[in-house]
């Protein structure tokens, strides 16, 4: 396996839990579960699952760009929402950004996320040309 490239966005959760926002090895890129938290750990757009999903997808897009990829390279996503009522807003935001790429996707309702006021979490897997 080729050398790993680790991407960080500087949120407090990354150093606390010992993980990278994204890891690239060869042509594969894995983006960790991402919530709508800013660099200080505060949740952006409290109470708005659609806005949180859009913020998350922007954050994922930036991590992919640092790994030399784009949203078009995403082949698999997983969306976690804390309430069944939030699924459509999160799904619509996902649909707006992935209309062309159309990756495989799973949407799961969970009891809670970290941080506690996060309503949506998204992770992504991508394939991009070998480095």
Domain 4-127 has CATH 3.30.70.260: no
Determine the Cα–Cα distance for residues 39 and 63; give it in Å rounded to an integer: 14
- The model's pTM is 0.94
Which pair of tokens denotes residue 105? 């996707």
Return the pLDDT at 2: 64
The answer to whether 48 and 76 have CB atoms below 8 angstroms apart is no
- Distance (Å) of CA 28 to CA 3, 7, 19, 64, 116: 11, 13, 17, 11, 31
- Residue 102, helix vs strand vs coil: coil
pLDDT value of residue 41 = 86
Walk along the chain (131 residues) and give the pLDDT tens digit of each residue. Answer: 468 999 998 888 888 899 999 999 999 999 999 999 998 889 999 999 999 999 999 999 999 999 999 999 999 999 999 999 999 999 999 999 999 999 999 999 999 999 999 999 999 999 998 65
Task: Give strand ranges (E) for the chain.
Answer: 4-7, 22-25, 28-34, 74-81, 104-109, 120-127
Q: Write down the pLDDT at residue 12.
A: 83
Which of 41, 9, 2 is closest to 25 using CA atoms? Answer: 2
The structure tokens 């994204």 sit at 22
Is the Cβ–Cβ distance between 93 and 74 less than 8 Å? Answer: no
Q: Please report the pLDDT score of residue 129 as a whole number.
A: 81
Is the CB of residue 35 less than 8 Å from the CB of residue 56?
A: yes
């Amino acid at each position: 396996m080729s050398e790993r490239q680790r991407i960080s966005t500087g949120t407090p959760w990354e150093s606390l839990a010992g993980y990278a926002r994204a890891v690239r090895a060869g042509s594969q890129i894995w983006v960790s579960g991402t919530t709508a938290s800013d660099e200080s750990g505060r949740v952006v757009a409290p109470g708005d699952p659609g806005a949180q999903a859009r913020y998350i997808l922007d954050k994922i897009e930036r991590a992919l760009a640092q790994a030399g990829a784009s949203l078009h390279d995403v082949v698999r996503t997983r969306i976690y929402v804390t309430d069944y009522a939030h699924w459509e807003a999160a799904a619509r935001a996902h649909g707006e950004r992935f209309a062309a790429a159309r990756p495989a996707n799973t949407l799961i309702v969970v009891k809670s996320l970290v941080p506690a006021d996060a309503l949506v979490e998204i992770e992504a897997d991508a394939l991009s040309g070998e480095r």
